[in-house]
Amino acid sequence: MAGFIAVRVARSVCGENRANSVAALHCHNVLARSLDDGATWSIENPPGYSDYDRSKPEIRDCAALPGTGVPFGHPDLVFEIVWMEHTSDEMRRFFHWSTDLGESWSARYRLPMLNGHDHLEPRTDHLVDGPSKAIVFVSGDNMTTSTRPTWTGAWISAYHTTDGGKTWTASTVGEMETGVWKGMTSSVRVGPAEILTSVRNHRIVNKPHPGRIESLADVYSSTNNGVSWQFRSTPWMLEENVFGNPASLVKLPSGKIASLMAKGLDGVVKGVSGPRFIPGSDDFVLAMENGQLGRYVVATDTIVRLTDDAGSGPMTDPVAFRAPEMGNQVLIVAIENRQNVVVYQPPAAAGGFWTRRVTLPVPAASTESYVYSVEPFTVGGRSYCSLHLQLLPVTPPGDTTSSVWVYAMDPVGGVRLARRLDDGTAAHRIDPEWFIGQNEVFIYFNLLPTDGGPWQVHRARTGIAAP
């Protein structure tokens, strides 16, 4: 169904069906489900899903799958492969699925260990080719012959099924190489029988000195629907001993294939202050180490300085957005020295510097003084931003008390909105994210209990109407 999303992070699954306003999140073996666009939530323990790490439930042979097996063509399918470190090998891996976004789950079925694997990594990638046909890419090693710390490597296998998971075959993507860890694939189909897959590759080369690690993104291709694979190219090779992010393959509307990967740029502030794309452009805005803002021009692989602002300190965390009150002109919002939110507008003449349009200081009523996590959004013809304010300028931000706010970027009737959204108590809050509901804008944020308990997701009302 259009709008459905399923994401697996570690042992977490999130699904969303926009048409029916349904969402599901599995985290730490429980489900948090919402049936009304996130207005209300319930914590659930669906039978057959959330108990697998507290007991040893039955795992059936995949040949015993009923009917046509896993309904890979179902529009609301969430399919999960689970690896657990139980003593009995039969309890260590299985797959199961839901066709209602996590409300109910199938029985567990044993995933056969093929291609030399007896241990799998908890990251998978898949292609669905029909109601009963799929290819699942897994990374794993053989703990019998590769027991850590004398581990010798991990390799990629493509698991194939044509009967809904009742039987599986496997092919090796690339080679099994000593001292090489391969994982985190990203695959696209480019023809009826042609597939490309990108593989994250950590290689211990020991040259020119012992312990040197190369981190690459290798691309492999298959022209027979994954039966055999050939090395195609290495689009990315990071600097020495830098692990980097896994590359992602994307098929563009033109039919071309793009490989996306985090890349360090000289003279640029890295980390959470990283680049953001500029609307209507292939370029992105970034914070420069000289305290100014810059534009990375993709076509020429160059950085153009955008601002020449003395200000009160360095600019970080820039985000470009279209402002409806400015005729949808592209503006940039950034944080100045962790003290102010600053909005920049483009120069009147080509080649000039961007200039400040407005500076938003921390509200006088706030007991926290340092600005983080500014995210602009527009609704009802006006521009706003969500953010959190911290008592201390520390990283990670969860180590100090903080509050969640929403600002309007322009005043109405001479009054500019700056509203605190949490309950006003002293607590550790981070990562506010806006969500435009049917009638109102909401801000979701994480609350970190000081007793070390599980993180909590909270929702705050902004009072800003959504048309």
Does residue 176 surpass a pLDDT of 80?
A: no
| CA gap 248, 250 in Å, rounded | 6
Structure tokens at 365: 């009523």
The pLDDT score that the predictor gives to residue 22 is 36
Q: Strands 257-260 and 248-251, how do they pair?
A: antiparallel
| CA gap 460, 117 in Å, rounded | 46
Supply the DSSP string of 144-185, one letter for each residue. TTS-TTS--EEEEEEEEESSTTSS-EEEEES---TTEEEEEE
Does residue 10 surpass a pLDDT of 70?
A: no
**Mean pLDDT of all residues in 371-382:** 96
**Mean pLDDT of all residues in 354-365:** 94
Structure tokens at 361: 């200081």
Q: Smallest Cα–Cα separation from 8: which of 96, 133, 135, 130?
A: 96
Q: How far is C-alpha 282 from the chain's CA centre?
A: 20
Q: For the segment 116-169, what is each residue's pLDDT rounded down to a tens digit?
A: 776 676 566 889 999 999 999 888 776 555 444 344 567 888 999 999 999 999
Of the given ranges (14-28, 179-193, 373-387), which has the lowest mean pLDDT? 14-28
- Where do we find the tokens 């020119």? 208
Q: Which residue has the higher pLDDT, 182 or 409?
A: 409
Does residue 79 surpass a pLDDT of 60?
A: yes
**Mean pLDDT of all residues in 269-282:** 75
- The answer to whether the Cα torsion of 365, 369, 375, 381 is positive or negative is positive
Does residue 239 surpass a pLDDT of 70?
A: no
Residues with Cβ < 8 Å from 352, sequence gap 6 or more? Answer: none
Task: Assign 414 a pLDDT band (cuts: 50, 70, 90).
Answer: confident
- Rounded to two decimals, the pTM is 0.55
**Mean pLDDT of all residues in 381-400:** 87
Determine what percent of the chain is predicted with pLDDT higher than 70.
74
Q: For the segment 306-355, what is each residue's pLDDT rounded down to a tens digit?
A: 999 877 778 999 999 999 999 999 999 999 999 999 999 999 888 899 99
Q: Which residue has the higher pLDDT, 183 or 463?
A: 463
- What does the DSSP 8-state code read for residue 415? B
Q: Name the residue type at position 450.
A: T
Of the given ranges (93-97, 385-389, 463-467), which has the lowest mean pLDDT? 93-97
**Mean pLDDT of all residues in 178-182:** 71
Does residue 419 surpass a pLDDT of 90?
A: yes
The pLDDT score that the predictor gives to residue 264 is 60
Q: CB–CB of 443/406 below 8 Å? A: yes
- Where do we find the tokens 């694979």? 229
Torsion, Cα of 270, 274, 280, 283 (10° steps) = 10
Does residue 213 surpass a pLDDT of 70?
A: no
The pLDDT score that the predictor gives to residue 53 is 47
Supply the DSSP string of 376-393, one letter for each residue. EEEETTEEEEEEEEESS-
Q: Smallest Cα–Cα separation from 343: which of 411, 267, 445?
A: 411
| CA gap 264, 324 in Å, rounded | 33
Q: How many CB atoms lie within 10 A of CB 367?
A: 11
| CA gap 340, 3 in Å, rounded | 37
**Mean pLDDT of all residues in 419-448:** 94
Highest mean pLDDT of the ranges 108-117, 236-245, 264-273, 383-392: 383-392
- Neighbouring C-alpha atoms within 13 Å toward the C-beta of 78: 25
| CA gap 386, 326 in Å, rounded | 20
Does residue 263 surpass a pLDDT of 70?
A: no
The pLDDT score that the predictor gives to residue 292 is 92
Of the given ranges (63-72, 83-92, 364-373), which has the lowest mean pLDDT? 83-92
Structure tokens at 58: 């039955």
Q: Name the residue type at position 235.
A: P
Mean pLDDT score across all residues of the chain: 79
- Where are the extended beta strands (E) located within 247-292? 248-251, 257-260, 276-277, 284-287
Of the given ranges (37-46, 354-363, 427-436), which has the lowest mean pLDDT? 37-46
